Structure 1
Amino acid sequence: MKAHSTVEQFEKMVLVLKNSIEKRGKTSIADIQQWIDGNYSKSKRFAYQLREAGYLKSDNAKPLGFTATDKAKELFKVAL
């Protein structure tokens, strides 16, 4: 069952990146929470992991917001 869990995690990360790219303005933890049907802590962890990997960047404002990086856009062949 571990492989299924890994695939689910991957699919959720792809969903977060895709939605972050398509969204106008910044992406909030609440947005991510809604997209992955997760709790606040899990959603925040997703955002931080994607930021650490270079797919999202944060604005360090309150509330914290994220935008997709060029690295994320390249995954979906979005014009830079």
Structure 2
Amino acid sequence: MSKIVVETQGLTKEFDGLYAVNGLSLKINESEIFGLLGPNGAGKTTTVRLLTGMLEPSSGNASVLGLNSLTQSNQIRERVGILTE
């Protein structure tokens, strides 16, 4: 059975009435290759920042490597390398 390494449930981020991410639910299993693709402004960077705890979601939740992105973001960032523009 595959281990889930990234999971979101209803993940939403709103900025002044505009939704950068709206109700994102996904599961990524260990050893899967997953691409987050879309045009500028589609919410890709916001999603990654939510996953790593760099932003707090307006609603919903996320976990990375079994760690809660809101309450255990330091442990996530110790294990995940990320560079955003």
TM-score (norm 2): 0.29
- Structure number with higher strand proportion: 2
- Structure number with higher helix proportion: 1
TM-score (norm 1): 0.30
